[in-house]
Amino acid sequence: MAEPSRAMSRRHATVALCCLAFVGAMVGAAYAAVPLYNLFCKVTGYAGTTRQALAAPGRVLDRSFEVRFDSNLNGAMPWKFTPETTSVTVRAGEVKTVYYRVTNNSPEEMRGVASYNVTPMETGAFFSKIACFCFSEQVLKPGETLELPVVFFVDPAIAEQKALDDIRTITLSYTFFPAKQPATPVAAATPKPDKPQL
């Protein structure tokens, strides 16, 4: 009678270990999902994610696009955030620089971080930025204004995508969110004075 009960215990232990391993794998996958998704979007341009470029593509086509610039603030941000121009015309492969202006209208120093996307989403894989302020923390003192550059181009490879032949307008949109404020350091404790000697 002891043998079947020992075999049953072994089976239960095996099932329990398999369940623990499965739960561990799911927790690990949950933590890895966001960075892996971000990497996937950056590589493929999925969901309007633009690409990072180190240099201009080296050729310019006759095909032109109107690139529009959009600026948004999370509701909790007492900042003013606007592009210097609402749109520019750019040829595929031509490098352009535009500026966004951000002003802190609050009476306190604030930190903010901007996220972005490109529409139509299919153009994200062909919209490349050489320089951008996105995902870099911006620290503004009360009343301070910053000029934030964006250096970009539309990859000439877009001409090889027949499905995108009708696209003439691309919108680059930024949204500023409050960044986590640094913790205020705890003041060092003042040592008690020595008691006077009696």
Nearest to 53 by CA among 167, 120, 150: 150
- What is the bridge-based pairing of β-strands 145-154 and 51-52? unpaired
Q: Tens digit of pLDDT per residue, the chain (198 long)? A: 556 677 777 787 777 777 677 666 665 544 443 344 444 444 444 444 556 766 778 899 999 999 999 999 998 799 999 999 999 999 999 999 999 999 999 999 999 999 999 999 999 999 999 999 988 999 999 999 999 999 999 999 999 999 999 999 999 999 999 988 766 555 544 455 555 555
pTM tops 0.95? no
What span, in angstroms and rounded, lies between the C-alpha atoms of 50 and 57?
A: 15
Q: What is the pLDDT of residue 183?
A: 63
What are residue 71's DSSP bridge partners?
A: 174
Query: What is the DSSP secondary structure assignment for residue 102, as one 8-state letter?
Result: E
